[in-house]
Amino acid sequence: MTIFWTASSFSFYLLQAMTKDFEGSLYLNYYLDAIAGILACIIAPFIYSWLKMKLAFIVSIALTLVFGFLLLFFQEDIFGCEWVGGDSGYPEGSK
């Protein structure tokens, strides 16, 4: 439990510190971070009661790893908005 608490606290505060370095508007990044936190606080009690504590931790860690890697891949330009059919906002050939 100590290792889980340390890892989750480190991840939470690291994301808070790195939000200013993500692409896009600083204000939009912080608003999206706040919306994600509010939704997590609303949804978490239902997930804990439905899956029980141990399985809920496993699911939350798995989701964190998946979306953490997706964020890493997006920031390193392994894939971008074009991959999901969106427009990147850059002129063609500028990257």
Average pLDDT, the chain: 78
How do residues 69-92 score in pLDDT, each as one tens digit? 887 887 777 766 665 555 555 566
Split at pLDDT 50, 70, 90, the class of 42 is: very high
Q: What is the SS3 string spanning the chain?
A: CHHHHHHHHHHHHHHHHHHHHCCCCHHHHHHHHHHHHHHHHHHHHHHHHHHHHHHHHHHHHHHHHHHHHHHHHHHCCCCCHHHHCCCCCCCCCCC
All structural domains of the chain with their residue ranges:
18-74
Q: Provide mean pLDDT across the span 9-35.
A: 80
Whether 95 has a pLDDT exceeding 60, the answer reads no
